[in-house]
């Protein structure tokens, strides 16, 4: 887990997301925006992570925090994943890896003994001014959503 030493501005971006909406970083009304990057829809770890965020969603809302999941999957895949899990938040589709590249989450990983390029499970918290205030890289799913919630609820 890595801490941002001091808030750093995040370059504005827009991206297609579920529910026929477009995500736009600038002008977000929330106190915090959580972007969690995950490797692939409908895989065990990504399903568990998304369910964990779903279960804590009412607490994030109380903390004036918006949650968005991001992967390289298509909008069609995201719509099915969101519906299947009953996710109350939107999923951002990044098939061109523009957002993944901006947050430097594309890494070489070992899968079944082969090197493959994929998304490193990572989470970023951006404040209402558009500054990155916290990041986690190489996330392990158990208790991660709880850690994120703890951060947003303990800030002054």
Domain that holds residue 135: 29-154
* Annotation marks residue 100 as catalytic: no
Instruction: Please give the Cα distance from 123 to 3 (Å, whole number).
Output: 11
Rounded mean pLDDT, 57-75: 97
Domain count, the chain: 1
Q: What does the pLDDT read at residue 7?
A: 79
Residue 2 resides in a domain: no
Residue 74 resides in a domain: yes
| Closest-CA residue to 73 (of 16, 141, 126, 138) | 16
Q: 60: domain CATH number?
A: 3.40.30.10
Inform me whether the pLDDT recorded for 2 exceeds 70. Answer: no
Tell me the pTM.
0.92
Residue 44 resides in a domain: yes
Rounded mean pLDDT, 104-111: 88
Taking CA atoms, 55 is separated from 30, 51, 62, 100, 153, in Å, by 19, 6, 13, 25, 16
Residue 126 resides in a domain: yes
Residue 10 resides in a domain: no
Q: What does the pLDDT read at residue 5?
A: 53
Active-site residue among 46, 91, 139, 145? 46
Within the chain, where are the H helices? 44-62, 75-85, 98-102, 144-154
């Amino acid at each position: 887990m890595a801490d941002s030493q001091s808030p750093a501005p995040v370059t504005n971006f827009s991206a297609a997301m579920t529910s026929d909406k477009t995500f736009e970083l600038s002008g977000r009304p929330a106190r915090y925006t959580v972007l969690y990057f995950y490797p692939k829809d409908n895989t065990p770890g990504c399903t568990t992570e998304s369910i964990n965020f779903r279960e804590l969603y009412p607490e994030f809302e109380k903390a004036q925090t918006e949650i968005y999941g991001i992967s390289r999957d298509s909008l069609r895949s995201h719509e099915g994943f969101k519906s299947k899990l009953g996710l109350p938040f939107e999923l951002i589709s990044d098939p061109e890896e523009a957002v993944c590249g901006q947050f430097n989450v594309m890494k070489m990983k070992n899968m079944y003994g082969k090197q493959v390029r994929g998304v490193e499970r990572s989470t970023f918290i951006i404040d209402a001014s558009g500054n990155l205030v916290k990041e986690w890289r190489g996330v392990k799913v158990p208790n991660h959503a709880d850690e994120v919630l703890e951060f947003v609820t303990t800030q002054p």
